[in-house]
Amino acid sequence: MRPKRADGAAARGTAPTDPPPSPRTRKAAGPTAPAGGPPRTELPVSRVAPPYGAFVLGRPSIAKVVVRRGELPEHLFRRLLGAYLGGAREFVIREAPRVTPATREVVHTFCRRTRQPEIVWDDDGQMRLKDLAYESPVPIAQRLGRMGRIVVQFHRDAVESWGQLPLADDGQWERRDDEIDREAWYVQRLAAHRFGPDEAGASMLGVWTIARSLERIADHAIVLGETGGRLIELPRGSAPITSLRQFHEQAMAHLEGALSAPDDASANDLLDLGEALIASGRSLSDRLLPAVGGGAVPPATAAAVARILESIGRTVAYSQDIAEVALDRAIPVAFSDPLLAAESASPARAR
C-alpha cells in the first residue's frame, strides 16, 4: 500500500488516479527502549543517508534524520520509510531541544509497520533504531510468489463483499493491506541490499518493481472493498454489477499470468492482453457511467461505479509493469563478452 501517515492516512505521493488518503487514524504501539544505551554524540544536520553507494561498497548504512521544527508526522514517516526502503540498517533521529511525544509516536508506528528495526536508545534529544531481527531465510522469489497470491485473494474477497450488506467500518481492509505493505517494503529493502553491478544484483531492480506494483495493486483492493458497499443501491444481478465483476476477474487472471509468465513469448502475450483490457475498461466506462448516472440511482452509487472502474484499470496497469519485468528477465544479458574475455586471456598473436 501507499505508505500511510503516522496517524494512519496515506503518506507518499501517488499518481493522480490513485485513491485519496483514508481519513481513519490508528494509534501507534511500538516497542519500548531499554534503560541503557550508547552515549550521545553530536550529529551533522543531514536528512537521509545516501542509500545505494554504501551497499555497493559494503559499508554500513546509517540514516541520520533531524526532525524539523513543526514537521508534520506524515512527512517524518515518509523520510524514515524512504531510508528503510533504501536499505538503512540503523536510524538516528534527533530533535531539539528534546524528542516530542508526536515524534516518538511516529517512530513507534514506523517500527510496528516495518520488519527488523527496533528502538535501542531513547533519551531527551535522540532516538536510535537498529536491525535486531535476523534476515528472513525465505528466498525472495518465494516471498514474491506468496505476496502475489495474497494480493489476488485480497482483491477477490473485496469484490465478493459486494453481495453483502455494508457493515460498520471496522478497518478490516486497512489491516489486511498493512500486512501487504509490510511484506512489500521488506522485499524492496532486501532488493536494495542486494543491488549491484553484476547480473544477480541487476535483477533486483525487477524484484523491487514487482513488490512495488503488488503494494499498489493491494491499495486498490481497499477501494473495491470500501466503495463496493455503495453498489447495494443497484438491483441484484443488474448489468453494471455483472460487468464490473467480469472485468475484475479478467484483471485478476491477467495479474496471475504476469506473476507466473515463464518466458518472453508469454510476457509479450500478457502485455497485449493488458492493452486490450485497458481499452475494454474505457469502453465499459463509456457504457456503464451514463446508464447509472441518469438519475435512476443515487449520485453516490454512480460515483462508486466510476471509482471501481478506475481502480480495476489501475490494477491492470500495475500488472503490466510486472509483465514487463517478466519480459526483461527472459532476455539473457551478458555482463561481459565471453569472446573478448577469451581473447584477452590468450597469448598475444605473433605479427
pLDDT in tens, the chain (351 residues): 544 544 444 444 433 344 444 333 333 333 334 444 444 333 333 333 334 433 343 445 899 999 999 999 999 999 999 999 988 989 999 999 999 999 999 999 999 999 889 999 998 889 999 988 767 788 999 999 999 999 999 999 999 998 776 555 678 899 999 999 999 999 999 888 888 766 666 788 899 999 999 999 999 999 999 998 888 777 665 778 899 999 999 999 999 999 999 999 999 999 999 999 999 999 999 888 876 655 666 788 888 999 999 999 999 999 999 999 999 877 665 555 555 555 555 555 444
Do 289 and 145 lie in one domain? The reply is yes
> What percent of the chain clears pLDDT 90, i.e. is strictly above it?
51
Do 187 and 310 lie in one domain? The reply is yes
Residue 349: inside a domain, yes or no? Answer: no
Least Cα distance to 274 among 228, 312, 330 occurs for 312
Question: CA gyration radius for the chain?
Answer: 24
Residue 346: inside a domain, yes or no? Answer: no
Residue 285: inside a domain, yes or no? Answer: yes
Boundary of a domain, candidates 134, 168, 190 = 134
Number of domains in the chain: 2
pLDDT at 61: 82
Residue 146: inside a domain, yes or no? Answer: yes
Residue 14: inside a domain, yes or no? Answer: yes
Residue 335: inside a domain, yes or no? Answer: no
Boundary of a domain, candidates 85, 100, 134 = 134
CA angle 279–283–286, rounded 5-degree value: 140
Do 156 and 65 lie in one domain? The reply is no
DSSP label at residue 203: T
Do 206 and 300 lie in one domain? The reply is yes
In this predicted model, what pLDDT tens digit does every residue of 164-222 receive, in sequence order? 765 556 788 999 999 999 999 999 998 888 887 666 667 888 999 999 999 999 999 99
Task: Report the CATH number that the domain containing residue 89 is assigned in CATH.
Answer: 3.30.110.20
Q: Which residue stretches of 203-263 are H helix?
A: 204-227, 239-260
Place of cell 517512530: 107
The amino acid present at 38, given as its one-letter code, is P
Do 22 and 162 lie in one domain? The reply is no
Place of cell 524539523: 68
Q: Give the integer Cα–Cα distance in Å for 291 and 32.
A: 56
Q: Give the integer Cα–Cα distance in Å for 29 and 139.
A: 30
Do 184 and 45 lie in one domain? The reply is no
Residue 247: inside a domain, yes or no? Answer: yes
Do 168 and 201 lie in one domain? The reply is yes
Boundary of a domain, candidates 118, 134, 150 = 134
Least Cα distance to 216 among 6, 5, 12 occurs for 12
Q: Give the integer Cα–Cα distance in Å for 88 and 77.
A: 14
Task: Report the CATH number that the domain containing residue 145 is assigned in CATH.
Answer: 1.20.58.220
Do 150 and 111 lie in one domain? The reply is no
Residue 248: inside a domain, yes or no? Answer: yes
Do 189 and 55 lie in one domain? The reply is no
Task: Please list, in sequence order, all residues whose beta carbon lies within 8 angstroms of the beta carbon of residue 20, skipping any fewer than 6 positions away.
Answer: 10
Do 82 and 224 lie in one domain? The reply is no
Do 179 and 51 lie in one domain? The reply is no
- Give me the domain span that covers residue 37: 1-134
Do 44 and 158 lie in one domain? The reply is no
In this predicted model, what pLDDT tens digit does every residue of 95-110 receive, in sequence order? 999 999 999 999 999 9
